[in-house]
Amino acid sequence: MSSSDSAYDDPWSRVSPRVLLLGVLLLAGLVFLPTLTFDLVYDDHWTILANGFLREPADLGLLLGPEARARHVPDAFRPTLVAFDMASYQWLGVEPWRHHAVSVGLHVGVVGLLAAWLRGLGAPVALWGATAALFGVMAIHAEPVTVVSFHEDLLAAGFGLGALTVADAAGRARRLSAMLSLAVGATVLMMLAAGAKLSAVALVGLWVLARGLRPWGRDVGPRDLPGALGLLLGAGALLLHRLVIFGGASPYGESDPRLTLVQHGLSATLARSMQIHLGYLQQIVLPFGLSPEYVEPPDTWSSPATLLATAALVGLAAWGLWGAWRRRRPVLALAVLGAIGLALPTSNLWPMPNLRADRLAYLPSIAVALGLAAMLVAAGRALRRRAPTSAPEWSLAPLIAMLILQGALAQGAAIAYRSDTRLWDTALRRAPGSARAHAARGQFYALGLDDNPQVDPPRIARASAHCMIAQRLAPTEALPWLCEARLAAAQQRWERAHRAFARALEAGMRREDRVLSALAEVSLDRPDLPYPARVAQARAFAERAIRHYPYSALAYATAARIHHRLGDAARAAELYARASKLRPERWDVVLAGVELELDLGHASAARAVLAAHDDLLEAADPAQRDHVRRRLQDAEHLLAPARSYPLD
C-alpha cells in the first residue's frame, strides 16, 4: 500500500475493487432509471424523430465533408454523434424508452471509464470509488442524461476518458508493438470524442495536468510520449477538420447577429460568463437552481455580481496554480485547474447559441467530482479521528450524505424533462423572462387546439398571452413570431399566419424548413390573393423547402400535399414516397398516399398501400384512419367492374 493509500485507509479498502465498481455503476444506473418512462423532448424531435438523414445510412460519408452542412443535416458538425444516432435509430427505432436506456447506459459507461482512468493513474480505492460514485449521481447531469439529443456530452466524455486511459496504458506497455497500438487507439478515441463535441479536446489538457502533477506518484517519462502524441494527434485532426469544413472552431457563425457574443461583444459576454461559471460550480457542488432554461443578459465588468464572481474564480485559479507550483495538495490542484480547463471551450469565448446550460457542465464536473470526493473522504477521516471508538463506516458519512443529496435532487431535476409541456412549464417557472420559453409554451397551447378552435377560448387566450409576452421580451427574434403564426394557423386565420411566418423567416429562423413548409401551406389558403398567385407562392415555398432541406420529411410531406391539392398526382406520389422514406413512422403521410390513390380511382392500389402499413396505422388517429377506410370501401363498391347480365 502506498503512502497515499494509507492516508485514505477506510472501509473501502476491504471491498474488492470489482465489487466496488459494480456497486458504483449500479447506483449511477438506478438514479436515472426512472427516465426510461419519459418522452422524447426538446431537440429530440429535430435530431431523432424528424431527422431524415438517420434513415439514409448510405449518405453517412457526407459527414466528413462540407456537404452534410450544406444539406442542413442536424448537428452536421458532430460526425460521431450523428453516426451514433444513425446506428441507434437503425437498431432501436423511435421507441423513447430504448433511447433513454442508451443514455443511461452511456452515462454508466462514462462513470466506469472515469474509475478506470483514476485507477490507472494510481488513485487509491477510496478516491476513485468516491469520485465515480459522486459523478454517477450528480444532479447537474439530469439534463444530458435525460434528453436523448444531448448524447454528444456523454459520448465526448466517454470516448475522451477512454482515450486518456488508453494513452496511460500505452506508457505502461512492455512491448513496443503494444505501446504503438495503444497510442493509435488513443488517437482514434480522441478523434471520436472531439467528433462528438469539440470541447473534448480539453481532456488532453486534463491528461497533461494529471501526469504533470503526479498526485499519486506515477511519474511521466519518455515511454508516455507515444500516448501523448496519440492524444494530440486525435484532437488536432478533429480541430483541423472543423477549421477546414466550417472555417473556425465555432460552427455557429462568427457574424450571426442572433448570437449574444456577436450582438453585445466579447467583454459584456465574458462579464456575464464569470457569473455563469460561479453558478455552475455552486450547482455542481450544491445542486440547487437547476433549470432547462436560463436568461443570461450581458453585463459589465463593474457590476458587483461580476466582480464577486471574478474574484472567486481568479482566487480558485490562483490557489490551484499555487498548489501545482508548490506540489501541495496536488489532487485539489488537479481538480481546480482541470475544471477550469474543461470549462474553457464552452466559456463563451466563442459564439454559442446558449450562454448557459446544465449540460455544458458535464465535462467540467469530472474534475469537480474528483476534488469534491477528495474533500468528502478527508472529512470522513477527520470525523473518524474525532471519535476513534466509532464504527469505521462512520468515515463514509459525509460521502453518503452527499450521494443521497445529489441523487435525490438528480431525480427531482430530471422530472422536468418528462414531457415537452412539463419541460417548458418548468422553464417558465425558473426563467420567467425567457422569450423562448414563452414562445414554446404558446405553441404547445396552440397545437392543443382541435379542429374547431373557437370552442376553447381559454386555451386561445393562454397561447396568445405567451406569444405576446415573447414578442415583448424579444421583438427581433424569430420564435415569438413563429408562436403567433402557429396560433393564427390553428385559428385558420391564414393571412395573419402568413404574415407572422414571413416575419419569423426574416428574423433568421433556425431550421427554416418548418417555416418554409408552413408558408407553402398557408399561401394556398390566403383569401386576400388571387388563385394563380396563391398557387405560384405555395409551389415556390414548397420547392425551396425541399431543395434546401433534402432530409426534411416535413418539407417533402408538405410539398406532396400541395401537389396533391393542385392535381399533380405523379409529383405528389413521388414526394409522399420520399417523405415516407425519410420518416417511416408518419402514419399521416401513408394515409395521404392512400387518399391520393383513391382520388385517382385506384382502389386496389389504395388497398395495397393500406395493407402494407397495417402495423404503422395501429398508431394512427382513429378518426382519420376510419375516414380513409370508409372512403376505400365506398371506392371498392362504386368503382368495381360492372357485372354483365347473364343473358348478354
Partner 1 sequence: MTRKFFALLAFVALSIAIGGMACIETQEQIDDSDETDTAT
Considering only 208, 266, 415, 566, the residue that binds partner 1 (CB under 8 A) is: 415
Residues 509/533, Cβ–Cβ less than 8 Å: no
For partner 1, the binding residue among 7, 27, 383, 616 (CB under 8 A) is: 27
Whole-angstrom distance, CA of residue 69 vs CA of residue 184 = 29
CB of 457 to partner 1, least distance (A): 13
Closest CA to 517 of 29, 50, 33, 18: 50
CA distances from 325 to 212, 331, 593, 609 (A): 11, 13, 71, 73
Closest C-alpha to 290, from 153, 440, 427: 427
Q: Is 403 in the site for partner 1 (CB under 8 A)?
A: yes
253 binds partner 1 (CB under 8 A): no
Buried b (16+ CB within 10 A) or exposed e, 177-212: eebeebbbbbbbbbbbbbbbbbbbbbbbbbbebbbe
For residue 540, state whether it binds partner 1 (rule: CB under 8 A).
no
Among 314, 404, 533, 536, binds partner 1 (CB under 8 A): 404
Cα–Cα nearest to 357, from 469, 277, 436, 282 = 277
Binding segment toward partner 1, per CB under 8 A, in 27-35, 162-170, 503-511, 570-578: 27-35
Q: Which stretch binds partner 1 (CB under 8 A): 65-73, 360-368, 400-408, 570-578?
A: 400-408
Give 222's DSSP letter: G
Q: Are 200 and 190 in contact (CB under 8 A)?
A: yes
Binding status of residue 292 toward partner 1 by CB under 8 A: no
Cell numbers representing residue 615 in the block: 402495423
Among 61, 315, 412, 475, binds partner 1 (CB under 8 A): 412
Of 457-496, binders to partner 1 (CB under 8 A) are 461-462, 465-466
355 grid coordinates: 450562454
Measured distance CA(515)–CA(502) in Å, rounded: 8
The amino acid sitting at 312 is A
Sole binder of partner 1 in the list 5, 7, 9, 15 (CB under 8 A): 15
Contacting partner 1 (CB under 8 A), which of 116, 231, 377, 409? 409
Task: Scan residues 113-142 and list those touching partner 1 (CB under 8 A).
Answer: 137
- Part in contact with partner 1 (CB under 8 A); list of ranges 21-29, 39-47, 275-283, 376-384: 21-29
Nearest distance, CB of residue 422 and partner 1, angstroms: 8
Interface residue with partner 1, options 425, 456, 568, 574 (CB under 8 A): 425
Stretch that binds partner 1, among 410-418, 522-530, 559-567, 632-640 (CB under 8 A): 410-418
Using CB under 8 A as the binding rule, the residues of this chain from 565 to 584 that contact partner 1 are none
Select 409 or 557, whichever has its Cβ closest to partner 1: 409
Site for partner 1 contains 407 (CB under 8 A): yes
User: Which residue in 26, 311, 536, 612 binds partner 1 (CB under 8 A)?
Assistant: 26
**Start-to-end CA span in the chain (Å):** 106
Under the binding rule (CB under 8 A), the answer on residue 30 touching partner 1 is: yes
Q: Is the dihedral of CA 506, 510, 516, 517 positive or negative?
A: negative
Q: Does residue 426 interact with partner 1 by CB under 8 A?
A: yes
- Using CA atoms, how far residue 256 sits from 260, 493, 500, 575, in Å, is 9, 32, 22, 33
Q: Is 289 in the site for partner 1 (CB under 8 A)?
A: no
Check residue 524 and report its DSSP letter.
T
Query: Quick one: which of 203, 367, 416, 446 contacts partner 1 (CB under 8 A)?
Result: 416
Residue 519 near partner 1 by CB under 8 A: no
The rounded distance, in Å, linking the Cα atoms of 455 and 379 is 63
CB 55 within 8 A of CB 89: yes
Contact call for residue 23 and partner 1 (CB under 8 A): yes
Report the interface residues with partner 1, using CB under 8 A: 11, 14-16, 19-20, 23, 26-27, 30-31, 34, 137, 393, 396, 400, 403-405, 407-413, 415-416, 422, 425-426, 429, 441, 461-462, 465-466
